Amino acid sequence: MTSKPKILLIYTGGTIGMVKDYETNALKAFNFEQLLERVPELVQLNCTVDTYSFKEPIDSSNMNTTYYVDIAEVIEDNYLDFDGFVVLTGSDTMAYTSSVVGFMFENLAKPVIFTGSQLPIGHLRTDAKENLITSIEIACSRKNNQPVVSEVCLYFEYKLYRANRTTKINAEQFEAFASLNYPPLAESGVHLQFNYELLLKPPPIATKFMVRKSLNNNIVILKLFPGITEEVVKSIVGIKNLKGIVLETYGAGNAPTYKWFVVILEAAIKSGIHIVNVTQCVGGSVILGHYETSVELQRIGVIDGKDITTESAIAKLMYLLGAKISNSEFKNTFEKPLRGELDF
């Protein structure tokens, strides 16, 4: 007889973990050790749930590389003792956080599901309960005695996404996230339906789970707009110790053809700064060289971000810069999918 899966619920902070003090009307952090009192439906799931809460809840706006490592280490320290993990964070930066953590994990063979909510768990119309319950159900789902999911995902409002494909698109609707360039991995309705062919395959049994904790955040996002000046581009590219730029271009990767613009970027690349071209569009892909306005970017060695999201491009830069990959190999490595974050 197979034992029940063990799931570790990790609360880092965020709206989902707040309850209302009705005497003061203020929101306060919820004690997750009393989870069953607040969400008694959990006893119906075919698993056991343990909880781990950060001593000081992290507001999602304060997320940084130190906290990314903290989250990864909690999973690393408990990896052998649990069959799956559900991580609760603030939704505002969840796409960034889950993407970075996904790159940090090598040979992941268990589900790591990020979720949160738009309303606190104690609110009358909260979306927290459904997001929490279904995330745990996904984390404990098994097929042929193996976990169905073996990657880092994000679950919100009835849909499971690959985390590094997501973007937060709405601050007010429950359907806060979208994955425009990759379909949902699962959808929750009357039944929980997995799209098995879309899931990443688990690593070979003999491979060892590893966590890469070296991240480099000396990077910047440069979003183009009509009328951007030479002085602005120069000032951004000239930031001290800068190692990487996510260049948000127009449409299919297009940028101004002004000579000064190309000269500045070319000099930056020659100095060792890695520039990744991503589209400003919510969906779609960069196709370097498709239009004349991106031919020069291709010529000077700008990295083709293809259909990667800005959030995932930031995460991948942090990870690869931390891995100290040589400049000659960096572009080639970035342009290949490592965790299913882009189409090859």
Degrees to nearest 5, angle at CA 87 with 24 and 209: 160
Which stretches of the chain are assigned E, i.e. beta strand? 6-11, 18-21, 26-29, 48-53, 84-88, 105-106, 112-115, 142-143, 146-147, 152-156, 159-162, 167-168, 177-178, 186-188, 192-194, 210-211, 219-223, 244-249, 274-279, 303-304
Report how far residue 90's alpha carbon sits from residue 17's, in angstroms, rounded to the nearest whole number: 9
Which residue among the candidates 12, 15, 166, 167 is catalytic per the annotation? 15
Active site residue 93: no
**Amino acid occupying residue 162:** R
Instruction: Categorise residue 11: left if φ over 0, alpha if ψ from -120 to 50, beta otherwise.
Output: beta
251 to each of 137, 139, 274, 322, how far by Cα in Å?
A: 39, 37, 21, 30
116 to each of 56, 249, 258, 319, 323, how far by Cα in Å?
A: 17, 31, 44, 24, 30
Half-sphere exposure of 311 (CA within 13 A, CB side): 23
> Crossing angle for the helix pair 327-334 and 310-322, nearest 10 degrees?
150
Active site residues: 15
